[in-house]
Amino acid sequence: MSHYVVVGFGPAGAATARLLAERGHSVRVVTRSGRSPEPGIEHVALDAADGEQLIAAARGAAAVFSCAAPPYHRWTSAWPPLAAALCATAEATGAVLVMLGNLYGYGPVDGPLTEELPLAATGPKGRVRVAVWERALALHEQGRIKAVEVRASDFFGPGVTDGGHLAARVVPRVLRGKPVSALGDPDAPHSWSYLPDVAGALVEVAGDERAWGRAWHVPTEPPRSTREMVDLLAARAATGPVAVRPLPSAVLGVASLLSPLIRELKEVRYQFDRPFVIDARAYEARFAQRATPLDEQVGATLDWWRARLEA
C-alpha cells in the first residue's frame, strides 16, 4: 500500500482519489475548503498554491496528482503560483508529479491530435497550460523532479456536472426528452474522454517510470458528434428522439456578458466548430489502460444522473 496526495476534488480529482482508495492505498486530498473524510481518503483544507503548506501535506507521498481546476477566468493569474507550488513539492518530497492536462496547448490544428504536435496555442488559457507543463518538463529533464502529464479531451461520464457539453445542461434534458442546445457544430466529430478512463490513466502512469518525462493522451473511444452522443443517450434512456440545435451566436454573445465561463469559452470555440479528435495510440502501445466501451459509458452515465436527480 502506498500513500498519495490528490490536489483538487472536482470530477477528475474525486475519481482519481476514489480509484486509489479502492485499490487499498491511503489518499490525502487537498482543497481550499476540505470536506468530511470518506473510506481511505483524508481531506485537508489548505491553499495548494502555498508551497510550504503543500510540501508539508505531501511528505511521504509516492505521487502528487495535480487535478485542480481554477475558474476559467482566473487561469492566467491562478495557474502560475499553483504550478510553482506543485513543482516545489515534487522537488522537496521526491513524489512523482502527475499532471492532468487538456488539449488547449495545441491550438487549432487540422487532423487528429497527437502528443508530437507542437504546443502552439494562440489563446491565453492554452498558453498558460503550455507554460505549466514546460516548467515541469524542464525540471524533470534537469533531474530535479519526476513529472508526467496526462491530457484528456472533454470529460464525459458519472460525476461530470460542470460545463455544458455533455453534462448538467444536456443529460438531464435527455432524460426528460427535451431538446438540447449544442455549442458549435453539433455534427462535427468530437472526442469525449470518459472520466473513469482519465482516472485510470493518471493512476497507471504514476507507478510506471517509463511514462515519466513526457505527455500522454488518455485512451478515448472513437469520436462522436454531439448529435450522435445525444442520440445514444436518448436511445438508451428510451426518451428519444431528442432534438439537438446549435446554440445561436447571438444567444452565446448575450450569455457571455453575464457569465465569465461562457465568455472564456470563446477561446476554445474552435474545438466544437470543426472536427476535434484525440489520438491515443502512443499510450495504448505501451500501457494497459483502454477506453471503456461506449455502451458502458452511456449506461453508467445515465444511471448516475438518474440517481442524482432522484436524490
Task: Using the predicted structure, report yes or no on whether residue 261 has a pLDDT greater than 70.
Answer: no
Q: Is residue 238 part of a domain?
A: no
Task: Using the predicted structure, report yes or no on whether residue 257 has a pLDDT greater than 70.
Answer: no
Q: Taking a C-beta distance cutoff of 8 angstroms, is the pair 75, 68 a contact? A: no
Closest CA to 217 of 108, 102, 138: 102
Task: Using the predicted structure, report yes or no on whether residue 241 has a pLDDT greater than 70.
Answer: yes
Three cell numbers at 185?
Answer: 457544430
Q: Is residue 37 part of a domain?
A: yes
Q: Is residue 271 part of a domain?
A: no
Domain that holds residue 134: 3-158+193-221+277-292
Q: What is the pLDDT of residues 167-179, one digit of tens each?
A: 998 999 999 999 9
| CATH number of domain containing 135 | 3.40.50.720
pLDDT at 259: 64
Task: Using the predicted structure, report yes or no on whether residue 286 has a pLDDT greater than 90.
Answer: yes
% of the chain exceeding 70 in pLDDT: 94
How many structural domains does the chain have? 1
Query: Which residue bears the cell 482508495?
Result: 21
Q: What is the pLDDT of residues 92-145, one digit of tens each?
A: 999 999 999 999 999 999 999 999 999 999 899 999 999 999 999 999 999 999
The CA-atom distances, in angstroms, between 216 and each of 135, 148, 166, 262 are 17, 8, 23, 28
Q: Is residue 163 part of a domain?
A: no
Q: Where does residue 217 fall: left (phi above 0), alpha (psi -120 to 50 degrees), or beta otherwise?
A: beta
- Please report how the helices 75-93 and 51-58 are oriented relative to each other, as an axis angle in degrees rounded to 10: 40
Q: Is residue 237 part of a domain?
A: no
C-alpha to C-alpha distance for 61 and 72, rounded to whole angstroms = 29
**The model's pTM:** 0.95
Q: What is the pLDDT of residues 4-44, one digit of tens each?
A: 999 999 999 999 999 999 999 999 999 999 999 899 999 99
Q: What is the pLDDT of residues 142-165, one digit of tens each?
A: 999 999 999 999 999 999 998 658
Q: Is residue 235 part of a domain?
A: no
Q: Is residue 146 part of a domain?
A: yes
Q: Is residue 232 part of a domain?
A: no
Mean pLDDT of 249-264: 62
- Going by pLDDT thresholds of 50, 70 and 90, the confidence category of residue 228 is very high
pLDDT at 204: 98
Q: Taking a C-beta distance cutoff of 8 angstroms, is the pair 158, 152 a contact? A: no
* Burial degree of 49 (CB within 10 A; 0-12, 13-18, 19+): buried
Mean pLDDT of 74-98: 97
Mean pLDDT of 68-79: 91
